[in-house]
Chain A
Amino acid sequence: MDIGLLFQIAAVGILVTVLNQVLKNGGRDEQATMVTIAGIVLVLFWIVGHIADLFTHLREMFEL
């Protein structure tokens, strides 16, 4: 797995938190929630293939 992906996920986490705080302070709670959900979906989209790989490896390792 590319280490760059971990840094990208960390950066998205930080920026989504910043956007969330800025929007909440501006009284736009709904948009803040939408941004948070969009961030989670984006990161899940990136890692879903890797999680599938992990389970495949586990299955192979324990011969399940």
Chain B
Amino acid sequence: MGDVWTNIIGTVLIMAGSVGMGFYLSAKEGFRVRDLSEFKKALLILSSEIDFMRSTLTEACQNIAKRTDGGVRDIFENFSHKLAEGEGETAYQLWLTVMASARVFLAAEDRIVLEDFGKTLGYLDKEMQKNAIEYAVSYIDEKTASLQKAAEKNKRMYHSLGIAGGLLATVVLW
């Protein structure tokens, strides 16, 4: 009798874990789209700051941090603090440090593009910076469109995989 109860409790735990994992993985793509959109907003604000406010990079990042949410806000907040404190040698190094410790749901390919964007921060003229922003924004637009297209299909797939995977593990371990 005790064995049956142990099996049942184990089944419930495995199913809860695997179904939860399925839902988490499907939600993760949504979080990625949200973070990319937030980054796009930040880059557009930075572009406007360059055009109209003519503020320093530190001030611009502080303003961006006030107008964005979540992990992206933390990135720009930390970056402006580090710039103000003068830690590190170049803005790019600081940007890499901040990006490495950022708690955002970005994939490796997104990180490569956004870390590359840091190379032009505070370097050369206004046009150079605006071109880099445009490039990053166009990448985000393309990626967001393709992710949204695949989102519904992937969502159902992850849910089904979570349930079927949990059942399979239960049957194997029963």
A contact set with B: CB distance below 8 Å: 8, 11-12, 15-16, 18-19, 22-23, 25-26, 42
Bound state CA distance, A32 and B161, in angstroms?
Answer: 11
B164→A15 contact, CB < 8 A: yes
Of chain A, the residue at the smallest CB distance from B174 is A8
| Residues A19 and B168 in contact in the complex (CB < 8 Å), given A25-B157, A26-B154, A26-B157 | yes
Is B171 in contact with A8, judged by CB distance below 8 angstroms?
A: yes
Q: Sorted from nearest, which 7 A-B pairs have the closest CB atoms? A: A26-B157, A15-B168, A11-B171, A22-B160, A18-B164, A19-B164, A15-B167
Measured CB to CB, the closest approach of chain A to B153, in angstroms, equals: 7
Docked pose: A19 CA to B172 CA in angstroms: 15
A15 touches B160 (CB 8 A): no
Docked Cα-Cα span, A21 to B22, in Å, equals 16
B157 to chain A: closest CB distance in Å? 4
